[in-house]
């Protein structure tokens, strides 16, 4: 079984939901023309990243608003994963990834680890999510993580144990120093993470990172698709908008897991037992 997936590496207009939705629709239509079954956008792709005081104004309760009606309609043809600010039932605000499939919201992942260190200040504006869960789609069981979540090894592990064979990561990763060596290092470090997760968990890892400038911060792009052997099979440009395609082949996952049984032989019951022991110390 094979499926074509698309990664939309885009710039975002800060605080302009209408303009960002129009750009999403443009890229979705391009992906549909190429017969892609899924398209992945970056973190906070619908809103922009450095929202600060307008976070409240741009937040959407997706179950009480018609804001995403066009995306729902298009999701009858292609699975759409996009990032935005979610207003929860308790009025908390979350950095969330919305998964649209078959005309409805199939799944929402709330960022579990919003960073608040160095140049980051997300916990000033967002509550943190408290659940990571795989879910079924027409192209297989998958899971979603947002940026910093991918720097916590437990979360990809939990998704894989929950049956995910595809892990989608949305990011707004900044370039901290604008020199050639640092820019390339940003991609190298992140890609090494992705290849390690993909290889050890025998999954496909899809990564969409934004580009452009916002509040003096530059985002470097370098979106990619890594297969279950830990091989990068598609990669986007650095610092430019791009739309890339790759093929997910479940025979590759089968071969990866049968050739090297480390994930098949994983013992989550042992992990649970030892974590309980450690946490009692």
Mean of the per-residue pLDDT values for the chain?
96
Where do the domains of the chain lie?
2-280
Threshold 0.95, pTM exceeds: yes
Whether 240 shows a pLDDT value over 90: the answer reads yes
Per-residue pLDDT, 119 = 86
Per-residue pLDDT, 275 = 97
Band the pLDDT of 175: cuts 50, 70, 90.
Answer: confident
Whether 276 shows a pLDDT value over 60: the answer reads yes
Q: How far is CA 84 from the centre of its chain?
A: 12
Whether 221 shows a pLDDT value over 70: the answer reads yes
The whole-angstrom separation of Cα 27 and Cα 81 is: 12
Whether 34 shows a pLDDT value over 70: the answer reads yes
Whether 206 shows a pLDDT value over 70: the answer reads yes
- Residue pair 50/23 in contact by the 8 Å Cβ criterion: no
Compute the chain's Rg from CA coordinates: 18
Class for domain 2-280, per CATH? Answer: alpha beta
Cα 168 to Cα 88, 91, 151, distances in angstroms: 22, 26, 14
Per-residue pLDDT, 181 = 56
pLDDT, mean of residues 159-180: 88
């Amino acid at each position: 079984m094979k499926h074509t997936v698309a990664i939309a590496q885009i710039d975002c207009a800060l605080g302009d939901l209408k303009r960002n939705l129009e750009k999403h629709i443009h890229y979705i239509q391009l992906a549909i023309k190429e017969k892609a079954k899924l398209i992945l956008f970056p973190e906070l792709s619908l809103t922009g990243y450095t929202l600060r005081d307008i976070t409240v104004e741009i937040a959407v309760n997706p179950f009480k608003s018609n804001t995403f009606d066009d995306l729902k309609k298009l999701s009858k043809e292609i699975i759409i994963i996009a990032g935005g600010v979610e207003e929860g039932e308790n009025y908390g605000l979350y950095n969330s990834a919305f998964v649209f499939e078959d005309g409805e919201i199939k799944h929402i992942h709330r960022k579990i680890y919003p960073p608040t260190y160095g140049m980051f200040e997300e916990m000033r504006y967002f509550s943190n999510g408290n659940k990571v869960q795989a879910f079924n789609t027409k192209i297989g069981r998958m899971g979603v993580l947002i940026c910093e979540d991918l720097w916590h090894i437990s979360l990809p592990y939990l998704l894989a144990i929950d049956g995910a064979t595809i892990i989608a990561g949305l990011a707004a990763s900044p370039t901290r120093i604008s020199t050639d060596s640092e820019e390339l290092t940003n991609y190298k470090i992140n890609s090494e993470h992705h290849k390690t997760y993909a290889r050890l968990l025998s999954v496909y890892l899809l990564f969409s990172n934004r580009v452009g400038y916002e509040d003096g911060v530059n985002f470097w792009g370098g979106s990619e698709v890594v297969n279950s052997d830990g091989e990068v099979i598609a990669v986007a440009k650095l610092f430019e908008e791009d739309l890339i395609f790759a093929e997910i082949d479940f025979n590759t996952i089968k071969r990866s897991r049968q050739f090297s049984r480390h994930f098949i032989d994983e013992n989550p019951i042992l992990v649970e037992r030892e974590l309980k022991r450690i946490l009692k110390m």
